[in-house]
Every structure is written in structure tokens, then in C-alpha cells.
Amino acid sequence: MTSISTDERLKRNSLLRRALVRPELGAIGGTAAVFAFFLILAGGTQMFALDGVINWSTVSAQFIVLAVGVSLLMIAGEFDLSLGSMVGFSGMVFGLLVIHVGIPVWVAIVLTFAVCALIGTINGVLVIRTGLPSFVVTLAFMFILRGATIWSAITFNKQPVVSGISDAAAGDPIAWLFGGKAFTGLFTWLGQQGIIETYTRGTRLGQPIVDGIPMLILWAIGLVIVGQWVLTRTKFGNWIYAAGGDPQAARNVGVPVARVKVLMFIVAAICAALLGISQAIEFGSAASDRGIMTEFEAIICVVFGGALLTGGYGSVVGAALGAVIFGVVQQGLFFTNVESSLFRVFLGTILLGAVVANTYIRRSITGER
């Protein structure tokens, strides 16, 4: 009797092994560790009261919005260092369109998304056509967009901050989708029932201190769900992994690698524009220094989430958890009364720890060297 060796593709892996090779593993552990850390150090403070939770959730949501785009792009094997500048640029384009061109806010939102999608396309096409590393091409756009933002602000507005967006956005049919708050009725009711804290004096007496869920949080949740679904449940998701993992092999089996990559540049640019527009509407102003360094922060979140810098491996959920770690650490340190200048030391340490742990676990499981 000859033994037939089983096809390795059909081999059943143990549950533990399957759990360990998932890219999110490190991020889940990291998130748990970070929450445990702050529950011990800042458990008695307002950090875990409703307004504290909303605050760090909003900060995390800002990171998530970018991290979703960046993780998909990184899994497809490319970087975009211009995204931080894109956040400032999109806000400024939007602000100038609303305040200086005077078009309705919803038209300005649509136009801003279009402009940013176009720049994402240019980024992508340049990378594909020239064959240069995306690191270099988008580094150039990091300066171009930041410079254009400052120049246009000074030229058209005479100062680096464009104000007055709140008034323009009031009553607009879709502006609330970006800078507004959801479930305000519910929160008012909860306040009236005495379930959540309300203002105890002044002109806002009786109103709840937290009057709704910022829309950005809902956007973040929505993007994570859609992003993860596309990545893990669709053919296109496989193409993204393939384009980043081994573009040549992917091309050989008929994956339109160039199209996938350019599309991912566009998605990342749109995520940045979403953040830029949301911030402009929420704060009522567009400033030319918005988003400085956020391109790197988004990459850090994605790496926390277990993605490989070389592409082909990673997850949207992991990136989102990475963003939560980032947001919670950034805001949480304030509650522990740790000197705020130590934030970066702490962040760098976690980054290093996360990457080392991720790499070590993956190597020992997959046997790669």
C-alpha cells in the first residue's frame, strides 16, 4: 500500500496556530496591555468617564481614518508620505472654496474629495510609471502639498488660518456628516434622565456634557468594517495582498497590479481628505499646519497592527487597533501626570516592542528566517 502524502494546501492547522499567524495578534495583545496599564495608573481619574472616553476615542478615530487607507496601501506594497500634508491641503482647499470662492459647503466637499483623489492618482501613476520607490515620490509630494497649502492660504487669505467655516457650514445638507455629532437626541435624553453628566451652571445648564458621538468615530468604524471586508472577503482583497506580496507573480496570474496600487493611493488620499474636511468643519477653520507628522503616525499605527513594511501582509482591523493604542497612549499619559514630553519616548518604546514581538512570533510560527 502506497501512502499518498496529503496536499499541503489541504493541511489542517491547529486553532492556536491559526490564531498566532493572524497579523492582528500583536495588536490585540498590545491593546489589552495598554488598557491594563492605564486602568492601573489612571483608573481612578476621569479617563474612563464618558467625556474622557469620547476624547480618546475621537483622537483614535482620527488615526483610524488615516490608518485604514495607509494599511491597504501598505499591504499593496506602497507608502504615501504625503498624507499628512494632504490633511492640511484638503482642509485648506475646502476652506478657501467655501470662504473665498463662496460655493455651497456640499459642493466644496465634493470638489475637495475630487482634487485629493486626483493627487492620489498622480502619486500612484508616477510611482508605477517611473518605477521609483513610492517613498521618494510621495516624499516630494509631502513638500509640494505643504508648500502649496501655506502659499494658497497667504495668497488668498492673507493669513495662514482660514476661519469662518462654522457659519458657512451651518444648515448645509451634508456638512454635519463630517463635523457634526450623532445620536444627540439620545444623549439629551440620557442627560435628562440623570444617567450621564450635565452642565451644572452657566448658559448650558442642563445640557449633557457629552452631547453626541462625533461623526468621525462613526466614519472610523464604518471604514474599518468596509476595509476589512474588502481585504479578507473579496477577490479584490486577494489582489491587494498579491500586488504587495509578489507583484511579478501576481501579474503572471493576471492581477492588474498597477490598477490595484493606483486605486490604493486614491483610497489613502481620500481617507486623508476625509480627515482634513472633518477637522475643518469641526474646528471651523483650516490651518496650514494641520496634519504635520500624521503620515508617520499612521504608518506607526499600521505597524503596531502587524503589517509588514515590505507589503503583502497586514490587516485593517490590526491597523485600527494600532490607532487605538496610539490614541489612548497619547491622551492617557495626560491623566497619569507623566511629563508630556515623555510621550514620544513611550511611543517609540511601544513601537519597538510591538515590531519585535510581531516579527518574533511570526518567525517562530511560520518557520521563516
340 belongs to the binding site for other proteins (CB under 8 A)? yes
Backbone angles phi, psi at 14, to 5 degrees: -70, 160
Q: Least distance (Å) from other proteins to the CB of residue 158?
A: 8
Residue 21 or 258 having the CB closest to other proteins: 21
Among 203, 235, 253, 368, binds other proteins (CB under 8 A): 203
- Rounded CA-CA distance 307/241 in Å is 11
E strand or H helix at 286:
strand 285-287
| Segment interacting with other proteins, rule: CB under 8 A, options 46-54, 113-121, 172-180, 220-228 | 46-54
Query: Which one among 46, 192, 234, 366 touches other proteins, defined by CB under 8 A?
Result: 46
Task: Give the nearest distance from C-beta 281 to other proteins in angstroms.
Answer: 12
Of 208 and 227, CB closest to other proteins: 208
DSSP SS3 for 214 = strand
Per the listing, cell 474588502 goes with 230
The residues, ordered by sequence, that sit 6+ positions from 315 with a Cβ below 8 Å of its Cβ are 22, 23, 24, 71, 228, 231, 232, 305, 306, 307
Enter the DSSP assignment of 341. G
104 lies in the site for other proteins, by CB under 8 A: no
290 counts as binding other proteins under rule CB under 8 A: yes
Kind of pairing between the strands at 213-214 and 285-287: unpaired
Q: Is 89 in the site for other proteins (CB under 8 A)?
A: no
Q: How near is the Cβ of 355 to other proteins at its closest, in Å?
A: 21
Residue from 359, 331, 325 nearest 32 by CA: 325
Site for other proteins, rule CB under 8 A: 28, 32, 35-36, 39, 43-53, 55-56, 58-59, 150, 154, 159-161, 163-164, 166, 197, 199-204, 209, 279, 283-285, 287-293, 331, 334-335, 337, 340-341, 343-344
